Every structure is written in C-alpha cells, then in structure tokens.
Amino acid sequence: MAGGRPGGRALGRRPGRRPAGRRGPLGRRARRGRDDPPSVTDGPTIRPTPPLHVAGSAAGVLVVTRLALAWWQDQSGSLPIPGVVSWASIALIAGGITWLARRTRRTLARDRASLDPQQAVTRLLLGKTSQIGGALLFGGYAALAWAAADALPAPLAVVRVVHAGLAVLACVGWVLAGRALEAVCRLPDDPDEPGDETPNTPHGTPGS
C-alpha cells in the first residue's frame, strides 16, 4: 500500500520547492544539501547591538572613571595629560571601519553572494566590537574632560580638556562607523527565494 494520502499528494516536501534553511548574518536563508558540510550560517543568528547597551556602557564608564579621578585628586594625584596620539589613533580606527563599511556595501550591492559568510560574520562582529569599544573610551575621556574642566583656565587644564574632547568626538565617530558596518552586514532576505515574505513575494503566495 502506498504511503501517500488517498487522492492527494504524498507527505513530504512540495515539488519544486527547496527546503528553507535558517537565516544567516546576511539575512539570507542557508541552502544546504544532504551531503554538504554544515555552513557558518546554520545555527542561531547574531542579534543587533541595542543602542541602549552602547549608551549604558558609556554612561557606566563615565561615572566610574569620574569617581576614580576624584578619589585620585583627593590623594594629591595629578590627572593624566592626553596627547595627539590619544585621539588621532581612535580617529584612524574609525576611518578604517568607515572605509570597510562602504567597501562592504559596494561589494554586496554588486553581488550578495560574493562575500563569504565567514567574512560577513567577522565584519559584523567587528562592527559590534567597535560600538562597545568606542562607548567605553567615550566614557573614559569624557570623565577626564569633566574632571579637568574644574581647573580651567589653567594651561594644563586647557590641554586636557581639548585633547580629551577631541578623543570624545573620535569615539563618537568610531561608534557610528561600527554601527554602519554592523547594519550593512544585515541584508533583507533574497526576494528570489521561494517562501520569503518580501515586497516581491506577497504573503501566502505559493513558491512552486
């Protein structure tokens, strides 16, 4: 006796449709054959970095560093004097992340399949790390500028406030560059794939 249902279609996959895989970091569904090795897109996806986490990291470091600097000053300690390297190095990193985000966007605009999934995951994680790293340094340099502002207009206080302020601006650029890199590595589902709910594939339309 046949295993199919009487008068209907046999149980299993619909003819003409591919099995749907899990969404990868680029937002595409992973297509894997029966004998293919597991792909890096199989498994849980990486969640976007919440802006609240970035802001909370910056605020937390700001408060802790400000209290630590106040205690250090009470012990007759002097505040650190940041130089050009402190903010120039951060600006250089932010520029590199921005360049990588633009290059990734152009690459994916030409051909979404041209970027290796492992590279996409690496760049996505780099974007997440840039946001958190920039937020942490933002809090530290903002606390230093805050503490040094109490001694204005002393010459050393001016130097501290100016260089720490430039470092704060560089950290903001680093965070924004990391957010852009993370966003460009998250694309909508491929409209050519059956079963995807995109403007080109209305909800409920059969994929066969």
- Point out the residues of the chain with pLDDT beneath 50: 1-24, 26-33, 36-43, 189-208
Domain boundaries, the chain: 51-74+86-184
pTM: predicted TM-score of the whole model, two decimal places: 0.68
pLDDT in tens, 50-100: 999 999 999 999 999 999 999 999 998 899 999 999 999 999 999 999 999
Would you state the structure tokens that stand for residue 91, as one six-digit string? 């600006």
